[in-house]
Structure 1
């Protein structure tokens, strides 16, 4: 999704990969690695461990809830540390809305895949 965003030129100044690599003082490649690890290992692990207490009628619904939590953490912790302001305020409304949509998609895919892996066929909300 980030590659498509970059190719389309949507909010080029809001480049989370470079924000992460700048925060870590390392290359953009390490920013990609960090983003991958956060999304798969950290949030995937949280989803697996907290699955029983996450509200939602289906795994996909639970994934969407986790996506919202991940978005809130990004908006409150990561975005201000990276210079984007609280809730991406330095980027205007798109700095608030675009990450929300991307995290909702991330959560839905995470839940869908979890359902598929655990049940063989995902049940939708």
Structure 2
């Protein structure tokens, strides 16, 4: 079993988070479900725990730390256990990350299991799944490329 390349995983996570962020911004510009805003949720969560005013820059910082470092490192650790091509492994990981968001993060920030608290049916959950799949595709492909290029 290959040893995880944690530094390369953070780079891949950063690349995937950039793509995810661009898609989130495009969603916002198009006016699609503007109330579904995980970056604002992160800003509000941080403000709650630090007893400070909400700050969108802090929300974006947390978004990039989670996407680049936390999920990037988790992917490097878990990827050798997953079957398939780098793309397939990235997509499988994305579904796991999405599921964690739906059952942990969404209830924590008051949106209920699978984001049903928005009152929009399954649309928020499906939209976030699509965004996670884009993230996972980039994560898997970039990590696969970086580790193949170095032989690790």
TM norm structure 2: 0.75
Cα RMSD, aligned residues only? 1.0
Give the aligned length.
119
**Which shifted more, 42-51 or 71-80?**
42-51
Greater CA drift, 111-120 or 62-71:
111-120
What's the CA shift for 1:30?
A: 0.6
What residue in structure 2 maps to residue 36 of structure 1?
64
Residues in 2 aligned to 1:90 and 1:48: alpha-carbon distance in whole angstroms: 33
Q: Distance in 2 between matches of 1:62 and 1:32?
A: 26
5+ residue gaps, structure 2, are 1-22, 48-53
The partner residue of 1:57 within 84, 89, 93 is 84
In 1, the alpha carbon distance for the partners of 2:127 and 2:95 equals: 12
1:67 paired residue among 90, 94, 110: 94
Query: Which structure ranks higher in relative contact order (CA pairs < 8 Å, sequence separation ≥ 6)?
Result: 2
Residues 65-104 of structure 1: pairs in structure 2 closer than 5 A: 65-91=92-118, 92-104=121-133
Give, in whole Å, the separation in 2 of the partners of 1:115 and 1:52: 11
Q: Distance in 2 between matches of 1:3 and 1:49?
A: 29
Distance, in Å, in 2 between the alignment partners of 1:11 and 1:85 is 16
Q: 1:22 aligns with which of 44, 48, 65?
A: 44
Alignment deviations for residues 34-63 of structure 1 (CA, whole Å, 9 cap, x no partner)? 011111101110111222112x31111111
